[in-house]
Amino acid sequence: MSDLLPNFLAGGWQTGTGAGTALRDPVLGNELVRVDASGMDLSAAFSFAREQGGAALRQMTYAQRSAMLGAAAKVLQANRDAYYDIATANSGTVKNDSAVDIDGGIYTLSTYVKLGEGLGERKFLLDGDAVRLGKDASFQSQHVLVPTRGVALLINAFNFPSWGLWEKAAPALLSGIPVIVKPATATAWLTQRMVKDVVDAGVLPVGALSVVCGSSAGLLDQLQPFDVVSFTGSADTAAIIRSHPSIVRHSVRVNIEADSLNSALLLPGEAAGSEAFDLLCKEVAREMTQKSGQKCTAIRRVFVPEGAYAAAAESISARLAKVTVGNPRNESVRMGALVSREQLVSVQEGLRALEGLAVLHDGKTHALVDADPAVACCVGPTLLGTQSADRADRVHDTEVFGPVATLMSYRDPAHALSLIRRGQGSLAVSVFASDIGRCAETATQLADLHGRVHVVTPDVAASHTGHGNVMPQSLHGGPGRAGGGEELGGLRALNFYHRRAAVQASSAVLAALSTSA
Amino acid sequence: MSDLLPNFLAGGWQTGTGAGTALRDPVLGNELVRVDASGMDLSAAFSFAREQGGAALRQMTYAQRSAMLGAAAKVLQANRDAYYDIATANSGTVKNDSAVDIDGGIYTLSTYVKLGEGLGERKFLLDGDAVRLGKDASFQSQHVLVPTRGVALLINAFNFPSWGLWEKAAPALLSGIPVIVKPATATAWLTQRMVKDVVDAGVLPVGALSVVCGSSAGLLDQLQPFDVVSFTGSADTAAIIRSHPSIVRHSVRVNIEADSLNSALLLPGEAAGSEAFDLLCKEVAREMTQKSGQKCTAIRRVFVPEGAYAAAAESISARLAKVTVGNPRNESVRMGALVSREQLVSVQEGLRALEGLAVLHDGKTHALVDADPAVACCVGPTLLGTQSADRADRVHDTEVFGPVATLMSYRDPAHALSLIRRGQGSLAVSVFASDIGRCAETATQLADLHGRVHVVTPDVAASHTGHGNVMPQSLHGGPGRAGGGEELGGLRALNFYHRRAAVQASSAVLAALSTSA
């Protein structure tokens, strides 16, 4: 039997008392390690994090916590090779795709180190300026942001065991909030190892960072009024979290990042072969295949003017045809596996749900390299298409979480916007065009519907950061179907972990308050 | 039978098809008017608001919507006398208490008129500055705030039929979001009349402001992903709203303001008879009796050093003894009625739940002026007390929504803070002392637990705005038991009605975007 990974709770390494759940190599099929949360004293674990971890973190300034996170980033950098090995084995990703998760996570953590330095030697934040509450200035209101005195329970998705950990934990820890992370079981190994390396290095106060792998049973029951929960995963699980009695009763703050049918839009006036056209086709192919399409921000729906449909189908398909699929250990392979058998089945079901659309490029045409089709969770990229997007209901609410997207044509810009709106709220949309004014106008029309609008004009062909790439400087989240959450966005991420309060007092008291901040 | 008030939905006045629920005079007991929402086509009403009202409001700039709200405020000013008459009859409040609701509502609306003027001729807001996403400045991220394209469903409490309407509707309408308000049945008349006056004056686009009185059945079922709900009321109803399928499934944004056991704290070193001591006693008596204690922000728990307990009991009781209770039409009366028979019963039940505490001043000693004790929903103010606050469990989680508070003694500042913390999150706390440094330090220690910290030093004796008075410049809301919501706080209130998005684009596109904002 494989190793049973211990959990780090209440300041100690604790091994589950059950047989555990096996994590597998999605390409070779063998068992790698096991995880188990049976028999953990969760009440003690949450209390320890709140009381020991929270108190220690709150005694530090933002600058001190920034330095602490900087030390954690160094620990991770020193252990990068081990993380790549785990990713290859457990996520089945090629090196470039592992980098999105591993180096993306370290980059995000490092970004918060820099942002934290800028906050300096203070223990709470001023929010805006003092405003008068009467005719004279003797009595005023000053808003402040203070760290919430609870624990941050972070429940993560299988597709980003590293980035998903750090994009949530960095703002939480910088804010002074202790973290308990519960990674998705299928890929929990990398999260557990990163936490272990940081904990063992002793760079964080004990209780600041805990990890529990396996079943999430009982975790939500522990929540108290000043705790917060940040969740990334399915809309079904999100609904369970939102309506959990502890959360409903205690007004526990919840951030949700769920499903999303992200769009790419080629504006009118961009002929086949134009720079904007080529940029769109390139980006769609890249988004479909990076991490085998297992990114919540990946492009799922592609909208082009009617006249560009055939050419776009041809250009994207040609790019997809060149993608070699199979064992990430083979250097000729560009796209590895889906993360598990369950995900493979889910993608196959999603493709069946979309039957009736034209198959513009069929993933089945890709022979697997160095991988046994009976064992490996690999699928080739599939581009579907329709020129009757109004009638294709399912394409606007079926998220196939793999290398699958659907190309659609639209009549005019209003038609395109109405089709995008049928996604009911998404994480990201990208707009491709050369006309600057049109790009700006379209961005404002799409902003209420998306957490992020990514505009690609020919002049940023080399410098744009990619449709699906989540930059820590920008908000990550989206309304409606996407869960309604907000993460990252630079220092905006800290708001979730702080409580805002208005202090109404004399100018002298507010002056003393501001000096102490 | 009394008049059946019509609802304003889908651009027209619609009378319920049922017999309706009677609204009564809580002093005289007679029926005033009836309300009913039976037979309303809510689906059509919500669609109309979203599509007609929303589109019209979004075509206006913030400055134009500010002017529109200014016109609404003028309509309300012109009809103030009618509102005072309704308040006397339906809320049983004396003139000064009616003013808190009526003039407080108009003042809050007028504050947003001024704030809106400052936003100028733009249709969306920039959120912070653009930040670089790479080494050079060619590709950057600019956050924007755009109005959500849905409807704001405002569900209000019985104690503020005017202020509760406008403190929510003003930021919503200024943001460009159509409003459907559902007032609490017991006092729905004033809300309905104010909406009627504004609608009939034609100062808002049709569909921008709707009102439905009576049962809330079916309202939540109408919610869609871009709608928002703002609720003030009980924790039980809040729990129903939070876990409603439409809200859970569609990630509908919800703001909750629920129960609260607000505290007043006299810091150590303030002897009986000191200025700070007197300010505390005066404020506690005022808070207990204003609107018969029916304010979610009213002081419920009073903490003084052990040595000041007896003197505080005496001083507060002496002030309460002078309060005449009864028919608000009698000019000698300082405190009118509770709002309904249900509330009278609820206060009596709350007092029974707190039996075992010392009765420092007994409300039963107040003979009613000009009111029949068998009919009128009047109660005298009651001050309870204990010098064993650690053992008095119920006092920290029983909100008696009437003229009732409990005086408690504490040993040292840490003890006081731990007792206040047992309220599990409140809307407001007030701190009374003369030492500026201590006030500032205490404010920061209480800020995570309260939406507002109100500091009263002797120099602001005349200018401070009152513990329970909600100023639109300051945040209103609180964590945990208080519901976790945020309202008001100046322009911060607009955030709830806007969606934040990051626009990633070339500097040229972002320049065009900023110009159009």
Q: What is the mean pLDDT of residues B155-163?
A: 98
The residues, ordered by sequence, that sit 6+ positions from B204 with a Cβ below 8 Å of its Cβ are B68, B72, B173, B198
On the question of pLDDT at B472 being above 80, the answer is: yes
A319 φψ region: left (φ > 0), alpha (ψ -120 to 50), beta (else): alpha
Q: Is B121 a catalytic residue?
A: no
Of B229, B223, B231, B228, the closest CA to residue B256 belongs to B231
Which burial class, exposed, middle or buried, applies to A275 when counting CB atoms under 10 A from its CB (0-12, 13-18, 19+)? middle
Q: Nearest CB to A444: which of B124, B243, B441? A: B124
Give B469's contacts in chain A (Cβ within 8 Å). none
Q: Average model confidence (pLDDT) for chain B?
A: 97
Q: How confident is the model at residue A103 (pLDDT cuts 50, 70, 90)?
A: very high
The pair of three-digit structure tokens given for residue B437, joined into one six-digit string: 């440094």
d(CA A380, CA A326): 9
A160-171 residue pLDDT tens: 999 999 999 999
Which residue of chain B is at minimal alpha-carbon distance from A452?
B502
Say yes or no: B332 contacts chain A, CB-CB below 8 A: no
Q: Distances from the Cα of A410 to the Cαs of A81, A321, A417, B295, B429, in angstroms?
A: 46, 25, 9, 55, 57
Q: Nearest CB to A143: which of B138, B471, B489? A: B489
Mutate to test the interface with A, among B503, B507, B514 (most CBs of A within 10 A): B503
Say yes or no: B474 contacts chain A, CB-CB below 8 A: yes
On the question of pLDDT at B517 being above 80, the answer is: no
Find the helix packing angle between B95-119 and B62-78, rounded to 10°. Answer: 160
Contact A506 B452 (CB under 8 A): no
Please tell me the predicted confidence (pLDDT) of residue B410.
Answer: 98
The interface predicted TM-score of the complex, written ipTM, equals: 0.98
d(CA A286, CA B137): 24
Say yes or no: B55 contacts chain A, CB-CB below 8 A: no
Q: Is B296 a catalytic residue?
A: yes
Q: What is the mean pLDDT of residues A238-260?
A: 95
d(CA B91, CA B184): 12
Give A228's contacts in chain B (Cβ within 8 Å). none
Please tell me the predicted confidence (pLDDT) of residue A1.
Answer: 83
Percent of chain A with pLDDT over 90: 98
**Which run of H or E residues covers position A45?**
helix A42-48
On the question of pLDDT at A92 being above 80, the answer is: yes
Contact A460 B505 (CB under 8 A): yes
The residues, ordered by sequence, that sit 6+ positions from A464 with a Cβ below 8 Å of its Cβ are A454, A456, B139, B504
Say yes or no: A473 contacts chain B, CB-CB below 8 A: yes
d(CA B272, CA B279): 11
d(CA B224, CA A4): 45
Give B257's contacts in chain A (Cβ within 8 Å). none
The residues, ordered by sequence, that sit 6+ positions from B345 with a Cβ below 8 Å of its Cβ are none
Q: What is the mean pLDDT of residues B53-65?
A: 98
Q: What is the mean pLDDT of residues A406-433?
A: 98
Which residue of chain A is at minimal alpha-carbon distance from B513?
A440
On the question of pLDDT at B176 being above 80, the answer is: yes
Q: How confident is the model at residue B134 (pLDDT cuts 50, 70, 90)?
A: confident
Give B461's contacts in chain A (Cβ within 8 Å). none
Which of A213, A281, A287, A296 is the catalytic position?
A296
The pTM (predicted TM-score) of the whole model is 0.97
Contact between A425 and A399 (Cβ < 8 Å): no
Contact B436 A509 (CB under 8 A): yes
Q: How confident is the model at residue A134 (pLDDT cuts 50, 70, 90)?
A: confident
Q: Nearest CB to A501: which of B147, B251, B451? A: B451
The residues, ordered by sequence, that sit 6+ positions from B389 with a Cβ below 8 Å of its Cβ are B303, B395, B408, B409, B410, B419
d(CA B510, CA B49): 32
Which burial class, exposed, middle or buried, applies to B143 when counting CB atoms under 10 A from its CB (0-12, 13-18, 19+)? buried
Residue at token pair 């509502």: B105
* B157, amino acid identity: A
Please tell me the predicted confidence (pLDDT) of residue B516.
Answer: 80
Please tell me the predicted confidence (pLDDT) of residue B424.
Answer: 96
On the question of pLDDT at B208 being above 80, the answer is: yes
d(CA B48, CA B51): 5
On the question of pLDDT at A420 being above 80, the answer is: yes
